[in-house]
């Protein structure tokens, strides 16, 4: 993985020192809260419902054991022994004290981490396919490009005061596992006409109040032009994006107001003018960064493992885990393992410090010193030998981390909601827990098949409810929490925004409503159809009728 050079170290430490001084000035009264707020937000520090919240960037979701252990230590020493992995591959600590934050930032800097660009109207932490460098359907590892974008965007003077936040995601595989269609810019590495790889570029996707699926602005961009082209997109947005209305300031609004064709025209015109002078990445630098992402040395191993085959037959729970949480790897004899943070009864995406330490341990012993964070709020061991799977499973099981529900109903995405968040209208965590309980039986989830259930506690959509096959949105109706259900969203290559199915439900009625939706799907599905396929074929009518009675 990428290692800081002297410049990176100096820069991050300087930032910590700067913030330490800013906190001191705040405490001495030399800064008012209004003056201090933008400074703390530039360092990922929010004030939430109960306490301060610190958002730590995990660049493109890659973590070394050393970093994971440091996060565990921070949780133990300065928080309440747990953190929350988010849909942006960040980690949030919910209970930090303002006075401790400079020390926490120092501890992060020690392991080459920080909170820069996790908040504010800048280019945020770039996210990626969590199976990057491991998945068997990969065209090219997206991580070097994420790192290049990270270095380019960090404190970029022209793009530090955009009209609104800006989110970029990259996928380098056939299957999109990074929800690129729901980002301001989505990049997909594809093979070009001449056999060389380049980027398919999408723009204007997003969640929030006005969800949009990103549209293609360029079918193919040669890789060497990535930076200048993205600069042109950002420049057009920076110039024309609205600054008068927070709700209309994202690039998605501009793209949809101009239309993709006009927007493309503007970008291409800017690019024609500026690309000659723009500094695209020097080849040496590209090579230097690439070298950090050389694949680990994984000597091919046997694909069959007798112990594993035996266990699969005798232990259906293990077989279920194997089927869902173990993913194919590029190198024969290896797999990637998803560590589910979705055991029924727990808060989706939360991990205790002990669990972080434990995952670090596993990464060290079984996965070539690498762990990953998925935007669906799970951890991943990217490079595990098949012959180690039984041992890995046993160890995970002992820690309650072997729930075999990856990409099934139980693998819900869920934002913190009103239990933590200052902007929330309704709670989401307790609803997720109740749904998890209702569908606890693995056999039932297996019967239902792949299903993305996403939930947010307000229209900001941090829990990606718009892109859930089933989406739940908490709203406030005259002081009562009410939950709106939408169906038919998808975060993948067939990206779609879900359709609100009808009037909202009170909290206590939500699990039954989900049950009714699932039963309707099961009653209507054809052989081999997943939820989304059935929804697309039969439409809303049967679901409406089941939920609300005949019209």
Q: Give the nearest distance from C-beta 497 to ligand HEM in angstroms.
A: 12
CA angle 341, 344, 345 (to 5 degrees): 100
Q: Give the nearest distance from C-beta 35 to other proteins in angstroms.
A: 12
Q: Compute the distance between CA of residue 141 and CA of residue 132 in angstroms, rounded to an integer.
A: 6
209: CB partners within 8 A, 6+ apart: 247, 459, 460, 461
- Does residue 87 touch ligand HEM according to CB under 6 A? yes
Q: Compute the distance between CA of residue 243 and CA of residue 254 in angstroms, rounded to an integer.
A: 11
By the 8 A CB rule, do 432 and 455 touch?
yes
Q: Chain-centre distance of CA 190, in angstroms?
A: 21
Q: Give the nearest distance from C-beta 44 to ligand HEM in angstroms.
A: 11
- Does residue 508 touch other proteins according to CB under 8 A? yes
Q: Compute the distance between CA of residue 66 and CA of residue 290 in angstroms, rounded to an integer.
A: 22
Token output for 460 = 């900001």
Which phi-psi region, left, alpha or beta, contains residue 416 (left: φ > 0; alpha: ψ -120 to 50)?
alpha
- Does residue 95 touch ligand HEM according to CB under 6 A? no
Question: Mapping DSSP to helix (H, G, I), strand (E, B) and coil, where does residue 203 land?
Answer: strand
Residue number, 389 or 424, with CB nearest to ligand SF4: 424
When CB distances are held under 5 to 8 angstroms depending on the partner's kind, the choice from ligand SF4, ligand HEM, other proteins, none that residue 322 binds is: none
CB under 8 Å, gap of 24 or more: what pairs does 323-326 form? Answer: 323/404, 324/404, 324/405, 324/406, 324/407, 324/408, 325/402, 325/404, 325/405, 325/406, 326/389
Residue number, 26 or 525, with CB nearest to other proteins: 26
For residue 329, the cross-strand partners are: 135
- Does residue 538 touch other proteins according to CB under 8 A? no
Residue number, 133 or 241, with CB nearest to ligand HEM: 241
- Does residue 421 touch ligand SF4 according to CB under 6 A? yes
Q: Compute the distance between CA of residue 179 and CA of residue 274 in angstroms, rounded to an integer.
A: 30
Letters for 171-210 (x = contact with ligand HEM by CB under 6 A, - = none) are: -----------------------------------xxxx-
- Does residue 93 touch ligand HEM according to CB under 6 A? no
CA nearest 40: which of 18, 7, 60?
Answer: 18
- Does residue 51 touch other proteins according to CB under 8 A? yes
Backbone φ and ψ of 521, nearest 5°: -60, -45
- Does residue 21 touch other proteins according to CB under 8 A? no
- Does residue 463 touch ligand SF4 according to CB under 6 A? yes
Question: Mapping DSSP to helix (H, G, I), strand (E, B) and coil, where does residue 383 land?
Answer: strand
Name the DSSP letter for residue 335. Answer: E
CA nearest 150: which of 12, 296, 22?
Answer: 12
Answer for which of 15, 114, 167, 372 binds ligand HEM (CB under 6 A) is: 167
| CA-to-CA separations, 388 to 300, 320, 395, 549, in angstroms, rounded | 14, 17, 11, 52
Which phi-psi region, left, alpha or beta, contains residue 61 (left: φ > 0; alpha: ψ -120 to 50)?
left
Q: Give the nearest distance from C-beta 248 to ligand SF4 in angstroms.
A: 18
- Does residue 374 touch ligand HEM according to CB under 6 A? no
Q: Compute the distance between CA of residue 507 and CA of residue 344 in angstroms, rounded to an integer.
A: 18
Residue number, 83 or 382, with CB nearest to ligand HEM: 83
By the 8 A CB rule, do 379 and 297 touch?
no
Residue number, 53 or 101, with CB nearest to ligand HEM: 53
Letters for 115-154 (x = contact with ligand HEM by CB under 6 A, - = none) are: ----------------------------------------
- Does residue 507 touch other proteins according to CB under 8 A? yes
- Does residue 225 touch ligand HEM according to CB under 6 A? no
What H or E segment, with its residue span, contains residue 271?
helix 260-274
Backbone φ and ψ of 367, nearest 5°: -135, 40
- Does residue 462 touch ligand HEM according to CB under 6 A? yes
Residues 398-457 contacting ligand HEM, CB under 6 A:
415-416, 420-421, 423
Question: Mapping DSSP to helix (H, G, I), strand (E, B) and coil, where does residue 522 land?
Answer: helix
Residues touching ligand HEM, count (CB under 6 A): 23
Q: Compute the distance between CA of residue 110 and CA of residue 154 in angstroms, rounded to an integer.
A: 19
Residue number, 84 or 177, with CB nearest to ligand SF4: 84
Q: Give the nearest distance from C-beta 424 to ligand SF4 in angstroms.
A: 3
Choose the binding region for ligand HEM from 87-95, 131-139, 433-441, 506-514 (rule: CB under 6 A): 87-95
When CB distances are held under 5 to 8 angstroms depending on the partner's kind, the choice from ligand SF4, other proteins, ligand HEM, none that residue 419 binds is: other proteins
- Does residue 461 touch ligand SF4 according to CB under 6 A? yes
Choose the binding region for other proteins from 116-124, 202-210, 273-281, 427-435 (rule: CB under 8 A): 427-435
- Does residue 226 touch other proteins according to CB under 8 A? no
Residues 397-416 contacting ligand SF4, CB under 6 A:
415-416
By the 8 A CB rule, do 385 and 301 touch?
yes
CA nearest 416: which of 468, 456, 356?
Answer: 456
Residue number, 170 or 432, with CB nearest to other proteins: 432
- Does residue 89 touch ligand HEM according to CB under 6 A? no
- Does residue 489 touch ligand SF4 according to CB under 6 A? no
Q: Give the nearest distance from C-beta 230 to other proteins in angstroms.
A: 36
By the 8 A CB rule, do 83 and 92 touch?
yes
Name the DSSP letter for residue 446. Answer: H
Letters for 343-382 (x = contact with other proteins by CB under 8 A, - = none) are: ----x-----------------------------------
- Interface residues with ligand SF4 (CB under 6 A) are 415-417, 421, 423-424, 456-458, 460-463
Q: Which residues bind ligand HEM (CB under 6 A)?
A: 46, 48, 53, 86-88, 92, 164, 167, 206-209, 250, 415-416, 420-421, 423, 460-463
Rule CB under 8 A: which residues touch other proteins?
Answer: 26-27, 29, 33, 47-52, 96-99, 347, 418-420, 424, 426-427, 429-430, 433-434, 479, 481, 506-508, 511
């Amino acid at each position: 993985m990428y290692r800081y050079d002297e410049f990176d170290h100096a820069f991050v430490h300087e930032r910590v020192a700067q913030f330490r001084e800013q906190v001191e000035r705040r405490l001495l009264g030399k800064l008012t809260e209004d003056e201090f707020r933008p400074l703390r937000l530039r360092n990922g520090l929010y004030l939430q419902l109960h306490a301060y919240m610190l958002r730590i960037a995990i660049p493109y979701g890659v973590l070394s054991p050393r970093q994971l252990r440091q996060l565990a230590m921070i949780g133990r020493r300065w928080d309440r022994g747990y953190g929350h992995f988010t849909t942006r591959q960040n980690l949030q600590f919910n209970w930090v004290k303002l006075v401790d934050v400079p020390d926490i930032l120092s501890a992060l800097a020690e392991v080459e981490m920080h909170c820069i660009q996790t908040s504010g109207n800048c280019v945020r932490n770039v996210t990626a396919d969590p199976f990057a460098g491991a998945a068997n359907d990969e065209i090219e590892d997206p991580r070097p490009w994420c790192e290049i974008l990270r270095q380019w965007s960090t404190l970029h003077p022209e793009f530090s005061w955009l009209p609104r936040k800006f989110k970029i995601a990259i996928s380098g595989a056939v299957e999109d596992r990074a929800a690129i269609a729901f980002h301001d810019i989505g990049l997909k590495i594809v093979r070009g006409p001449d056999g060389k790889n380049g980027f398919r570029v999408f723009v204007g996707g997003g969640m929030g109040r006005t969800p949009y699926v990103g549209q293609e602005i360029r079918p193919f961009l040669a890789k060497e032009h990535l930076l200048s082209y993205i600069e042109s997109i950002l420049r057009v947005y920076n110039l024309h994006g609205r600054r008068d209305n927070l709700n209309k300031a994202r690039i998605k609004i501009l793209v949809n107001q101009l239309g993709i064709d006009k927007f493309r025209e503007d970008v291409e015109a800017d690019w024609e003018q500026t690309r000659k002078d723009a500094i695209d990445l020097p080849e040496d630098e590209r090579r230097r960064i690439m070298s950090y992402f050389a694949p680990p040395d994984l000597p091919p191993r046997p694909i069959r493992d007798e112990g594993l085959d035996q266990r699969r037959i005798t232990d259906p729970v293990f077989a279920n885990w194997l089927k869902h949480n173990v993913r194919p790897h590029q190198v024969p004899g290896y797999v990637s393992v998803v560590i589910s943070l979705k055991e029924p009864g727990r808060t989706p995406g939360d991990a205790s410090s002990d669990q972080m330490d434990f995952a670090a341990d596993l990464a060290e012993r079984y996965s070539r010193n690498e762990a990953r964070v998925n935007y669906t709020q799970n951890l991943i061991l990217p490079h595990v030998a098949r012959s180690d799977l039984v041992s890995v499973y046993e160890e995970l099981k002992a820690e309650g981390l072997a729930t075999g529900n990856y990409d099934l109903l139980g693998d819900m995405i869920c934002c913190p909601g009103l239990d933590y968040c200052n902007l929330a209208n309704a709670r989401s965590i307790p609803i997720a827990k109740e749904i998890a309980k209702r569908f606890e039986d693995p056999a039932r989830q297996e019967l239902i098949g792949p299903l993305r259930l996403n939930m947010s506690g307000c229209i900001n959509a941090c829990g990606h409810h718009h892109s859930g096959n089933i989406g739940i949105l908490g709203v406030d109706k005259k002081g009562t929490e009410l939950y709106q259900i939408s169906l038919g969203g998808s975060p993948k290559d067939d990206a779609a925004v879900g359709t609100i199915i009808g009037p909202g439900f009170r909290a206590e009625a939500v699990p039954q409503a989900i049950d009714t939706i699932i039963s309707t799907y099961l009653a209507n599905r054809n052989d081999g159809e997943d939820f989304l396929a059935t929804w697309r074929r039969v439409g809303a009518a049967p679901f409406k009728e089941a939920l609300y009675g005949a019209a």
